[in-house]
Amino acid sequence: MTRKPTVAELARMIDHSLLHPTVTDGQIRAGCDVARRCHVATACVKPYSVPMCAELLGGSEVAVCAVAGFPHGNGHTAMKVKEAEMAITEGASEIDVVVNVGKVLGGQWDYVSDEIRTVNDACVGRGALLKVIFENDYLKDEHIIRLCEICTAHRVAFVKTSTGYGFVKQPDGTYNYRGATAEHLKLMRAQCAEFVRVKAAGGIRTLDDALRVVELGATRIGATATEAILAEARERLG
């Protein structure tokens, strides 16, 4: 986008994230209320809460996005497919699946490609779209480039930077993550075909963060700070 988005346009780029492992059903209900009031694209939720969220968001323009293989991507391909299929049956129209990072780092590209193709086929065949989470904090540029090529080949709807839970051990012994960095977003946008959209997730907590990733080519944003971002947008963007 060559201009700053309007408040409404920005809201429709946001997947309101309700994925923390400690989130209770009450907090999920409150999060769905936020998603509905803010007119975002989706509420992004854990698989077990899809039926509840589909009911809560019914009749609104807010869709339900479910995760699969989340957050580490280490399950069998068949289990990722089953998780996606069940979520779609229960009301999700978008699926965010995590790649098998170990297979990516091991260069087992046939496995990675087959898994992405299989999950994407399951989603597309049921009228849903797929976002493939790379977890860039674990990867080198060459891995990201190859994943972009694979997702382009299989015509995946979105590539996504991070889960927000891909913690890496730091030099001081603590664990943290960088999330949606400028260099990775530029690389992903450049290496994917135009029809593959980019979702930025991880560390997007302010309006400036959101505007930065949009300027870098992201058309969807994963965020927990949705209300704060949009409140700031109403003040500054009008």
Q: Is 141 a catalytic site residue?
A: no
Instruction: Find where tokens 């996504």 sit.
Output: 160
Cis peptide before 71 (omega within 30 of 0): yes
Tokens of 184: 């990775």
The active-site residue out of 80, 131, 137, 160 is: 160
CA 181 – CA 11 distance, rounded (Å)? 21
For residue 168, list its beta bridge partners.
176
Q: Is 209 a catalytic site residue?
A: no
* Closest to 49 measured CA to CA, from 71, 29, 69, 22: 29
Q: Is 160 a catalytic site residue?
A: yes
The active-site residue out of 96, 131, 137, 209 is: 96
Tokens of 64: 């339900």
Bridge pairing between strands 14-18 and 175-176? unpaired
Query: Annotated catalytic sites, by residue?
Result: 96, 160, 199
